[in-house]
Chains A and B, each alone.
Chain A
């Protein structure tokens, strides 16, 4: 048996023993110990390496050194592989130990629900803002002047009786009221803003009305007002049409038909029609009456304008298919949480 043949078999034996030990190391710490035992100072392979000096043949010595190094590298690779395996196993064991049922979800405070009138209100504002309108506001307790007289309904005007006005005990009798429509804001805007005016005026309005499925004494309207040089009836019709398509959808169209309001002339009712072909009455509109422009301090010989208005509550009612307006004002969380 030659010295080199003997060395080769000792290397092979050492590698075999080491491989076996690595393979059975149960955990990372044991693996470290095994690795140290087979590749560290006192290990067989390192011992063989230090005995290489006794080989006199240079070539044989080099070959033996290469063989020992290869064995050590093989062993390191085995250790690394085993280490990865053990770590993966340890991680998945740890994960299994902290398994969770993600459907065990405790009820926590959830986001509140905006009133459907507010939702409709904001959607309407957004459409008009996109069309270049600003949003104006005014007081709910109003003067008779702003609510009626300035809107071409002087005291004793027959149209006043149609409004079922609630008067407030303040100032001289009949001078102060809860606004019956958002139109008084038109007057305030004309008086306070610079021309031209492109404004919508959403707000709460009041009528002396017994609540039923389609009427509430307190409800909401949105009013539009445009005053500029060169505004014509065609602009009114075009704006209503643009709004109709933007708010309801491009398959909707609009039409105007003659009606009467004291504050506009010519006056119109506007209807919208869906692709189903059914016309729905939506609101009133018209060219601002010259007397109204004058009351707002605008010269009707220089400026013309149009106005339109409709109910916000009804938009919400139709959109959500609410049968009875009173449901919208019952403040019942079972109702509110649907929207």
Chain B
């Protein structure tokens, strides 16, 4: 919302404040100043000049020659790139040597060897408005040679761009901002008088509100004695400065009323709407050409303004139609001032992607009782250019029972102080609220049952009609807080009465990250959105369907991942293509499945909440250029830290993994993850030809269980006895099987059984040599040679029983 300092100053005394201070006051009231722009700073050397004649030059297509009279008795020749002036027009001439607001100096810069003795200016170039469309044409009557700013009576002004929040519909008008500022400063708020003396004969335009909920008030007032023409300068400048384009005196008055009172309104050519108005919902597929020339197709929820013959002439609260616009020859207008239901306007404006100054105001809620005042203001503003204006009596003011009535809200003094931590008295509170239009009637309010707020003084507060957002006690508490000033409410640190901390799960999650980082993997955060086909490309088989998005921005982001692998593979491929070294990435993130999880909590007494789809946290690690044994190594490192194991079941090959170099991690019947290498055909799809080791696991297995504390065992004081044993092991015996057999064979004396060497004569040999070191120790004695020898014999026969043959003896 663009707010002019000069405009506010008409309604309250701002002399105490400089520009920054005024900005700070508005920000402190919740109307945040996004930017402040100074306009109308006089530029010395820019004078009023009359266009004498213009001439095209055959060699210059984009500029023409203009001769002007600047009142000094000499013809000045200038080149000009704009063509909107004609002989006789008054225009601003920046004379030679003028320092323009943008820092340029006007020099005798010639084109085609012909000098230019100055420059004609647009309003934007002079900082008078944002209008840069052509040379500014000045009103008749300015004396030649006079400084343009003096001639226009332009004074320095500041335009504040305010970010107005949704709960402040009143602040999208200068009056609302001024009321707030005046209250904060403790100065008088002086709204302007409206003049709607109804002198003329009764002129009644019939109004039929069919959609009584969507349109709760529709006033049509006829005015005559109008001559359509430009607005007085000070008004058109104000329209411009507020960010709109001056059109003519009628449209400008309409816009000024909106910018002042926050009441959008619409002036029709009275002749064109003589048949009356019908306000109804659109029918399916009904179309209307709006003022901007676009044909709009409507829906049954869109509210239409129709003429008496039921022809649509406007989309209520959004934009008018082209057919009933006023023209240069209009002398009588029918002024519509209405209240439309905010949500309906919002939905229509959203659906049509047509957001206008009017719709933005209606969807926040305009003052349901402000209609008469805004009509009077319209008449006053238009009368400045149309002294013969007649406001006819007999206006139609159709209302329905849906017109909002000002709310009455109970406010407890103790509640204000309970929420704000203040000790305000009843009088202070009512004084703050009264200044911004709330009417406070004192009353004693009894404590509610089981409430912490005691019985005590309070008010019955009548909410002003321009503040439809205030419906609850707490809304009034906020008004008090705003006006007492947030900065005065103090800063006290709330003392937590409980120990803070991470939950055991959160602590273990940090430990898990630490372990994974120590394994050399860096943390990636791929998008959780996938395109159709991404799962399949990564070799992920969907056990149940992936969740789909209802309204994805692009189809490439229309599915929620069921696995971390597609995202990490993409990240791996990216880094491979950039020839990164030592690529190792991990992600700890959520995956989602369409299947419902039971046990979703329903909030007490609310049927709207429901179960949610399955969402789990998973860990995936991938590294390039290492084989499956690295992934198994990661897993054993993680299980060692977390004290949680799983069976590495190589008989179950996970989808998308290398058929002979991968395994399923299982705990009983539950599959908790996969380990190994990514299938080469999958990697080929990502353009990766090195091996990629991968571990993925359900993080809840690691994080969800509180590990039991290990119980200390005394360390033996007796020496150990070691022996090594190596077997030639056939392909069908896994190292894990042999390891288990050896452990069993050496029994309780076995302290450690460690695989320390794997040897294949040829890399492709399936039969290999596995060498183990066995360390024996007893807790109560030194072992005898006989005991060691018995254990060794047992180990050897255990290996041989599996079909392995002893080597090296």
Interface residues, chain A, CB within 8 Å of chain B? Answer: 107, 109-115, 117-118, 122, 125, 128-135, 137, 139-146, 149-150, 156, 158-159, 161, 166-171, 173-176, 178, 187-188, 191-192, 196, 198, 204, 208-210, 217-218, 226, 228-229, 231-235, 237-239, 241-242, 255-260, 265-269, 287, 289-290, 295-297, 299, 301-302, 304, 306, 328-334, 336-337
Contacts and interface: CB of A to CB of B under 8 A. Distances in A.
B520 interface: yes
A257 B610 contact: no
The 4 closest A-B pairs by CB, nearest first: A132-B496, A232-B421, A258-B30, A260-B165
A102 B575 CA distance: 31
Nearest to B475: A265
B557 A217 contact: yes
Interface residues of B, number: 101
B474 A289 contact: yes
Contacts of A191: 601, 603-604
Contact of B575 (A112, A241, A256, A331): A331
Contacts of A242: 493
Contact of A266 (B478, B491, B570, B584): B478
11 contacts: A114-B523, A118-B513, A132-B499, A140-B592, A143-B608, A158-B343, A168-B547, A268-B486, A290-B472, A304-B418, A328-B525
Interface string B493-505: 1111111111100
Given A130-B500, A235-B492, A304 B523 contact: no
A175 B586 CA distance: 33
Contacts of A289: 474
Given A140-B590, A302-B452, A233 B419 contact: yes
Contacts of B589: 204
Contact of B525 (A113, A117, A128): A117
Interface stretch (B215-223, B260-268, B312-320, B548-556): B548-556
A231 to B, nearest CB: 6
Given A132-B500, A139-B612, A241 B491 contact: yes
Given A260-B168, A297-B603, A331-B571, 12 more contacts: A110-B582, A131-B496, A161-B346, A166-B550, A168-B560, A231-B494, A233-B481, A234-B420, A257-B27, A297-B604, A329-B527, A332-B575
Given A233-B481, A331-B571, A334-B578, A141 B547 contact: yes
Among A198, A209, A226, the most chain B Cβ lie within 10 Å of the Cβ of A198
A238 B578 contact: no
B583 interface: yes
A143 B478 CA distance: 29
Interface in B38-87: none
A253 to B, nearest CB: 10
Nearest to A154: B608
A166 B552 contact: yes
A289 B493 CA distance: 20
Nearest to B545: A169
A167 B342 CA distance: 25
Interface of B: 27-30, 32, 165-168, 342-343, 346, 350, 363-364, 418-422, 448, 450-453, 472, 474-475, 477-478, 481-482, 486-487, 489-503, 506, 510, 513, 516-529, 547-553, 557, 560, 570-571, 574-575, 578, 580, 582-586, 589-590, 592, 594, 601, 603-604, 606, 608-613, 615
Nearest to B527: A218
A306 B612 CA distance: 28
B165 to A, nearest CB: 3
B610 A171 contact: yes
B28 A257 contact: yes
A115 to B, nearest CB: 4
Contact of A301 (B346, B452, B477, B548): B452
Contacts of A149: 608
Given A170-B613, A332-B574, A158 B342 contact: yes
Contact of B477 (A115, A161, A209, A265): A265
Given A109-B582, A257-B27, A129 B452 contact: no
A133 B496 contact: yes
Contacts of B421: 232-235
B612 A129 contact: no
A192 B570 CA distance: 39
Contacts of A330: 574
